[in-house]
Amino acid sequence: MTAIRPTINAGFPENHPDVLIIGIRSNDEGIEIATPVNGLPEDLAEQLAAVGAKGTAEEVTRIPGNGDYKSILAVGVGDTDEAVRKAAGVAARALKGGTACSALGELDVEAAVVGHYLGAYSFTEFKTGDSKEPPSIFMLTEEDSEDAVARGLIIAEAVAATRDFVNTPPSHLYPAEFASRAKVLAEEAGLEVEVLDDEQLIDRGYGGIIGVGKGSSRLPRLVRITYQYSDDAPLVALVGKGITFDTGGISIKPAASMDVMTCDMAGAAAVIASIVAAAKLGVKVNVTATVPMAENMPSGTAQRPGDVLTQYGGTTVEVLNTDAEGRLILADAIVRACEDDPQYLIDTATLTGAQQVALGNRTPGVMGTTDFRDRVARISQSVGEGGWAMPLPEELRSDLDSKVADLANVTNHRYGGMLSAGLFLKEFVPEGVEWAHVDIAGPAYNTGGPWGYTGKGGTGVPVRTILAVLEDIAGA
């Protein structure tokens, strides 16, 4: 996969850089330099104000430099880590290759590295003749920052790897190929990988994954990745939805915007990237990733509305709507993941359009066991991904009853669609497991213009949430 990624290092380049990136803020007198650098003109704030700089968040102003820099790029910064990430992203996107020195690390090195890296990211694999050059950015800080830069790069690369997967079109990323790429990525990090093909899935009773994937000529897979830190470390199970393309099956979607369903494997991509990053960071937990992969297509072999399938573990489900397929493959994966007796389970998926109705395109919905749900939502907010705790109302559960099976895969109404999907998944989570489901239907893919460190296309949400939760569990 080909994407523009910057080179980021600690220290100062051997040759004079093209650009100096600094942070500015508004104050009562106009603007102030938030990241002072030796050798800057004493009247720099006045120069910036003279060309219209206000110091508002993420505002970019460029002026000619002095002998050390060809130009100075000033970006408005706020007071939080997330504000630094966004400012760094905006600044990196304004670069046109070349070499830059960034003083934003004086505010927060890791946040600045992540923001610069993701702001400069651009997926170019299918762009012929693309002449973009990735910038080379050096972090200027008074203290030794090599460890913080290295950590920021691991986190940023995990997000970028997720974006790569999501941005790769379904013509080139189908279940077998997705499984193969996941295996390579995980094995390069020294992780144990198991891949089940369609025949093994049938033999072992993965009825949800087979039911969803049997309408496609490109048959499903299940990937299992294991990171073992130590025998006595807590075990966290990760599960991610890997629908490499979702037509809706026989309950076919409208043609408008169906192309965005290339992102329907974003949960799987995030889980794969997160376990790899956890290993690289040496997080003190054991982690398993159970990743079901299927393509949901209409055909003569596709499952029909009204069919009954048997999930892994024996629960029967009446499929009333083949476009509610994510929960069917997740249910199989959740049951398998919980056979390992994890203390914690995090599953994530582009699960419901109802998430977007309820929370918009940037706020993931978090459901699950009360304490862990709230913990995950709080951590998600602290890292800038904005997860929001949502309930699982008991009165909606009976709407998932089926006349012919243990469960129906949808209710007979449109109310609380995200919540009823969460209630469906809850049926497959054993008692005693701390569980959180993160619905990223909107946040996983940006269909609009770039903002902060987020470009158009795959966003990489919720990788940073997952990593922060793993570290929080390790710290506890």
Q: What residues are annotated to the active site? A: 253, 327
**And the tokens for 205?**
């009773």
Question: In angstroms, how far is CA 108 from the centroid of its own chain?
Answer: 22
Collapsing DSSP to helix, strand or coil, 15 comes out as coil
Residues with Cβ < 8 Å from 31, sequence gap 6 or more? Answer: 24, 25, 45, 48, 49, 53, 54, 55
> Which DSSP letter does residue 78 get?
-
Token pair, residue 231, equals 């025998």
Cβ–Cβ under 8 Å, residues 443 and 459: yes
Sign of CA dihedral 369, 372, 374, 376: negative
Q: Which structure tokens are listed for 274?
A: 């997160």
Alpha-carbon distances, residue 433 vs 368, 372, 393, 428, 467 (angstroms): 10, 10, 19, 11, 19
Helices (H) and strands (E) in the chain, counts: 14, 23
For the chain, how far is it from start to end, CA to CA, in angstroms? 37
Alpha-carbon distance of 134 to 122, in angstroms, equals 9
Strand partners, 287: 227, 236
Query: In the beta sheet, which residues pair with residue 310?
Result: 316
Q: Which residue has the tokens 């449109």?
A: 414
Task: Give, in order, the Cα–Cα distances in Å from 168 to each of 172, 244, 293.
Answer: 7, 10, 15
Token couple for 438: 């993160």
Greatest C-alpha distance within the chain: 78
Q: Which contacts (CB < 8 Å, 24+ apart) does range 412-418 have?
A: 412/320, 414/354, 416/354, 417/352, 417/353, 417/354, 417/357, 418/351, 418/352, 418/354, 418/355, 418/358, 418/365, 418/367, 418/390
Q: What does the block give as tokens for 282?
A: 């040496």
Alpha-carbon 68 to chain mean position? 38
Both tokens assigned to 29 = 């007198």
In one letter, which amino acid is 115?
G
Which residue type does 189 have?
Answer: A
